[in-house]
Amino acid sequence: MARIIAITNQKGGVGKTTTSINLAASLAATKRNVLLVDIDPQGNATMGSGVDKYDLDYSLFDVLVDDLAAEKAMINAEQSGYYLLPSNIDLTAAEIHLLDKEQREFQLKKALSKIEHRFDYIFIDCPPSLNMLSINAMVAAQSVIIPMQCEYYALEGLSALLNTIEQISETLNPELHIEGLLRTMYDPRNRLSSEVSSQLHQHFGDQVYRTPIPRNIRLAEAPSYGLPVMYHDRHSRGSKAYLALAGEIIRRQQQTEHNN
């Protein structure tokens, strides 16, 4: 069965989509079967995977609202190495349609339950707000990766997100937990970055991934080519960082399985 991980932060511009795409590609490069679910109406993960969001036969909207089988909307994003459940602006209307559905928070979970046996990892790229779409993502997931910049307001936003995760695990999804906190756009020469980083380690210990993701021009430009950074420039610092993060995630999983 797949490990289903939501990549979320209620703050925009912290590297959620960059992390979703590049982590999916890095794990797929280790011969894992990976699905990336784009549940953000902006459709950036769709475009960044090399799929045109304006030219979709079906999207996640059809899956959530019309109960289309996820398999029918799924696309093989071959140049990225993984499968994709794509999205576009249609998804904005899904929120309104979901309000009329029974068990509206469980629509994504229900859809993924039919296909999860095919994958080792399923990543869900969440919108930068708390709404019915991000709630669907956290109800479908077993755990959450939180990408965050090491800056002044980051810790403030983090406490609100942790409250949300706690509420969802108490009411809708008891197995939901934090997979890890990921430091993005990290510059160790910046004093504030170092201070926030050490605060994170103090509060969250081993939940903070050892691998930070650096500021990297190749990482920033890869989406405009519709490619994960490892296929845009595999020698770049961004590419090496996401491959290292994938290794860390695999090792953590093996350790957990060994301990159980």
In tens digits, what is the pLDDT along the chain, a chain of 260 residues?
899 999 999 888 899 999 999 999 999 999 999 999 999 999 999 999 999 999 999 999 999 999 999 999 999 999 999 999 999 999 999 989 998 899 999 999 999 999 999 999 999 999 998 899 999 999 999 999 999 998 877 787 888 899 999 999 999 999 999 999 999 999 988 888 899 999 999 999 999 999 999 999 999 999 999 999 999 999 999 999 999 999 999 999 888 888 87
Question: Within 10 A of 189 (CB to CB), how many other CB atoms are there?
Answer: 6
pLDDT of residue 150: 87
At 30 the pLDDT is 96
Find all residues with CB under 8 Å of 210, minimum gap 6, and list them.
248
* Helical spans, DSSP H, in the chain: 16-28, 44-48, 60-66, 70-73, 91-99, 107-113, 132-140, 154-171, 191-204, 217-221, 229-232, 237-259
The closest alpha carbon to 169, from 133, 142, 131, belongs to 142
CATH topology of domain 3-259: Rossmann fold (3.40.50)
Q: What is the pLDDT of residues 44-58, one digit of tens each?
A: 999 999 999 999 999
Q: Residue 234 corresponds to which tokens in the numbers above?
A: 């595999």
Q: How many angstroms separate the CA atoms of 96 and 101, rounded? A: 10
Taking only the tens place, the pLDDT of each residue in 28-41 is 999 999 999 999 99
Could you tell me the pTM of the whole model? 0.96
Residue 60, Cβ density class (10 Å: 0-12 exposed, 13-18 middle, ≥19 buried): buried
pLDDT for the residue numbered 11: 86
pLDDT value at residue 188: 85
For the segment 1-28, what is each residue's pLDDT rounded down to a tens digit? Answer: 899 999 999 888 899 999 999 999 999 9
Sequence-separated (6 or more) residues with CB below 8 Å from residue 241: 211, 212, 213, 214, 216
Q: What is the pLDDT of residue 115?
A: 98
